[in-house]
A and B are shown apart, each in its own frame.
Chain A
């Protein structure tokens, strides 16, 4: 009898603890905690936060997502004729992905329209990408800003910078 009570209590405690640690992805792929709040974390944590079958998107993947939501999006270096400037309003994104491959492109957020209600967490949060910003001095990674579609870099250290995570399939 006593054994079965101990077993029951242990099982309940284990399941409660598992539930408390069980982050989940909402329908938009945003990582939330047990209470439904958007999880904010450092870049180091974000790199390993997405569950199996999903991944933290690169800067390019976010740029393509923004492009699908109306942004002018990407302009490849290969499209530039030697010595010519990119079209107006494009800025340079110099990313290095987690596999070490450098991925440099021009990007224009003009036209971005997330189409979600203004209070949506898709719009009100900035998200980590898995792309680093190469620097021989600073430890930076690229972020995607849900409100205006911008891709900028920020410090990876969670002491200074805690951002949301959106996992892509």
Chain B
């Protein structure tokens, strides 16, 4: 029994030791420098102290600074879906709910598209779909699209970015 506990501790420690490295983009990396892909459930505790897994709104706001479009729920007339936008309604880890409309159409338009790990990967957010809490939202760097993945399935792995706490 004692051995199992020790082994468990070792495995746990080695997981956090390897997951605690973040690069200049806040991307979590393995000890060998490769991107650490994990489930969203694991991602929730993968960021080091002083950082956190961003909500989908935090990721969207960054995309908006790169040209994507955001419409707040209050600005959209009921029954009149805005062209090119999709609606997202989520719950965040602090229990708050959030809803907005997002379009990736202007993502990087008129700008040089960088060839780096931010634009090559899909990143988990900490937000879950309001209607389907088994689904977490992700951000897809190449086109600036949002997507969904099962939060806790071993075959649904994504990269993780950590944002600095406010």
Q: Which residues of A contact B (CB under 8 A)?
A: 77, 80, 82-86, 92, 96, 99-104, 134, 136
- B111 contacts partner chain A, Cβ-Cβ < 8 Å: yes
From residue A71, how far is it (CB to closest CB) to chain B in Å? 21
Interface readout for B5-22 with A: 1 if CB under 8 Å, 0 if not? 000000000000000000
Is B106's CB under 8 angstroms from A100's CB? no
Is B83's CB under 8 angstroms from A101's CB? no
Among B76, B85, B109, B115, contact of A77 (Cβ-Cβ < 8 Å): B109
Is A102's CB under 8 angstroms from B143's CB? no
What secondary structure prevails in chain B residues at the interface with A?
loop
Q: A134-B142, A134-B143, A136-B142 are in contact. Are A85 and B109 (CB under 8 A)?
A: no
How many angstroms from the CA of A14 to the CA of B117 in the assembled complex? 50
Is A83's CB under 8 angstroms from B142's CB? no
CB-defined A-B contacts under 8 Å, sample of 8? A84-B82, A85-B84, A96-B113, A99-B112, A100-B113, A102-B111, A104-B105, A136-B120
Which residues from chain B contact A99 at a C-beta distance below 8 Å? 112
Which residues from chain B contact A85 at a C-beta distance below 8 Å? 83-84
What secondary structure prevails in chain A residues at the interface with B?
loop
Complex A-B, nearest 6 residue pairs according to Cβ-Cβ distance, in ascending order: A83-B82, A85-B83, A100-B112, A136-B142, A104-B109, A102-B108
Q: A82-B69, A83-B76 are in contact. Are A101 and B106 (CB under 8 A)?
A: no
- B71 contacts partner chain A, Cβ-Cβ < 8 Å: yes
Which residues from chain A contact B76 at a C-beta distance below 8 Å? 83
Smallest CB gap from A101: residue in B:
B112
Which residues from chain A contact B95 at a C-beta distance below 8 Å? none
